Chain A
Amino acid sequence: MYNTHMTKTKIDIDKIARLAQMTPSANLREKLEKQLEATVVHIEGLEKIDTSSVSGTNQVTNLSNVFRDDIVTPSLSQEDALMNSKKIYNGLFMVSAVLPDST
């Protein structure tokens, strides 16, 4: 059931890794590229199915716009919210610089 012949699609593994913010090693990159291409061959099989008469389902129980009342309720304490971070400063999460150093 697992299709192993080559697909015409060539996956740009570096681009996908960058988009996915993943850092596979060079060896793993090569392996993943082949595996992903093989998977794509498999899933391209869906093309054969006629879906012209239907629209897509993304919510199987037909719920939409589920809201609660706009009332402030207790949430996590600051201590609990910060408890799992390794990089805290003055009760705040530290993040990497967003803008590069302009000097």
Chain B
Amino acid sequence: MDVHNLTITDIKADLKDKKYSAVELTKAYLERIKTLEPKLNAFVTVTEEKALKDAKKADELLADGQDLPVLGIPMSIKDNFSTKYIETTASSKVLEHYRPPFNATVVQRLEDAGMVMVGKTNLDAFAHGSSTEASDFGTTKNPWNQECLAGGSSGGAAASIAADEAVAAIGSETAGSTRLPASWCGVVGLKPTYGRVSRYGVVAMGSSLDSPGPLTKTVEDTAQILQIIAGQDIHDGTTSSSEPKEYITLMKDKRRMTIGISKDYFQDVETEVAAKIEDALKILEKQGHTIKNIELFDPKYAIDVYTILQRSEVSSNLARLDGIRYGEDRTVFGEEAMRRVMLGTYVLSAGHYDAFYKKAQKVRTLIIENFAKAYETVDVIVGPSAPVPAMPLGSTEKNPMFGEVIDRLMEPSSIAGLCGINVPAGFSKDRLPIGLQVIGPQFAEDLILNLAYQFEQATLYWQQHPTL
């Protein structure tokens, strides 16, 4: 079975027409995972038994004439999302044998919507990283070139989509962790507005930043997943009470937008990447959108703000891992987790709290105000997702600020709690994907999905596949 160009919409139609069964489809994806995993290491746990059980149930419901939004669709879930009675390791030895007694809200909603879960994907341990090199279970390789990184922390999720090991994936982003691997693996990745999607059951990293979101081949598939997982959750007091919009309908509106671009977002960006984004802007202009130069807060300051806020929240969140109720004791923490917790502890400690943490929170306010001002004159902001295409394996060694520097074009929008989407924008001369990001105001996922969809329809990069 050729799974390369299958989207959620295609599969639902095929299942309805009985072209194949959900079990046959799932077996094809599981077979593909078995073949590719030695090369890619996208998965921590392949949930074969559960996947076949889910698929069998899907076939029974289909035979009964029932339908659900992702009935029978093979999906991968990042391993920092709690899955009931199934190992949830956050790619760390500390949680290697941990089986949550509950599902994360995102997982529960997808289960209720009929998903077939094929496995839990690899990440940097506790999502502390932008490469998966900090995973305690090995690095995920980029499907386009296995000498290169898939990016992170949702590297396994992005790789699983690029390699057609799943139709849709769930990842999470604190600052860049969905958009960066999506960019490096040539797939669509959405960071929703903070509070649009419940964090309940997601192993906490930065509680004021974490944003669960989908990774898929197409923008429409991403819109479909968002529709399922978005919305207020009684278990997460930071979720918004505003109703999710009709994302799929709004995505297909023929709107013309004013697109803001900032020269600071093209600073220190590789020539090839900048060139591809310039090409993309020409396509968008031809489609009738207006490009406007705007002044944005220099992303380089966002690195410092993000470093402080994230590491502070990490140090607080990982304090719960005491090995008493679950998990191993604290001697088993990897180096990256230790580094982050200790820096967080330092900046929160007496004598440093004002100079660092409180200062970072104030600069955060400036960043938020700066974006708000920009959005008075533009609808969305566009730029490269990453300054470079996928870097070689080993790039993070001896570089404790690797993630913060690579993610600098996404940190400002994450700090401000905005929404952002990566959409494929072409390839480098070495055939590595280059991604374009569209950043929208809070709760404007409809706008960024719309623009990304228009760009995707004009370029169709998603129909190209790595040779595996």
A46→B360 contact, CB < 8 A: yes
A11→B346 contact, CB < 8 A: yes
Interface hit among B132-140, B243-251, B334-342, B447-455: B334-342
Contact of B102 among A51, A57, A76, A95 (CB under 8 A): A76
Report the Cα distance A67→B307, complex, angstroms. Answer: 31
Q: Return B313 CB to nearest CB of chain A, in Å.
A: 10
Q: B275 an interface residue at 8 Å Cβ cutoff?
A: no
For A, the interface residue count at a CB cutoff of 8 angstroms equals 50
Residues in chain B near residue A5, CB distance under 8 A: none
Q: A66 an interface residue at 8 Å Cβ cutoff?
A: yes
Residues in chain B near residue A55, CB distance under 8 A: 362, 365
Report the Cα distance A71→B325, complex, angstroms. Answer: 26
Q: Return B74 CB to nearest CB of chain A, in Å.
A: 28
Report the Cα distance A43→B342, complex, angstroms. Answer: 15
Contact with A along B281-311 (1 / 0, CB 8 A): 0000000000000000000110111011000
Who on chain A is nearest to B318 by CB? Answer: A20
Q: A7 an interface residue at 8 Å Cβ cutoff?
A: no
A39-B400, A60-B194 given; A49·B341 CB < 8 A: no
Report the Cα distance A81→B17, complex, angstroms. Answer: 45
B349→A54 contact, CB < 8 A: no
For B, the interface residue count at a CB cutoff of 8 angstroms equals 63
B417→A61 contact, CB < 8 A: yes
Q: B2 an interface residue at 8 Å Cβ cutoff?
A: no
Who on chain A is nearest to B442 by CB? Answer: A61
B366→A61 contact, CB < 8 A: no
Q: List 27 A-B contacts (CB under 8 A).
A: A1-B268, A1-B300, A1-B303, A17-B342, A19-B349, A21-B319, A22-B330, A23-B331, A36-B342, A39-B401, A43-B347, A46-B356, A46-B359, A47-B359, A49-B301, A49-B366, A51-B359, A55-B362, A55-B365, A57-B361, A57-B365, A60-B368, A61-B238, A61-B240, A84-B99, A84-B101, A93-B325
Q: B: which residues have CB within 8 A of A? A: 97-99, 101-102, 193-195, 208, 234, 237-238, 240, 268, 300-301, 303-305, 307-308, 315, 319, 323-327, 330-331, 333, 335, 338-339, 341-347, 349, 355-356, 358-366, 368-369, 399-401, 405, 408, 416-417, 442
Q: A: which residues have CB within 8 A of B? A: 1-2, 11, 13, 16-17, 19-24, 28, 32, 35-36, 38-40, 42-43, 45-47, 49, 51, 54-61, 63, 66-68, 76-77, 80-81, 83-87, 93-95
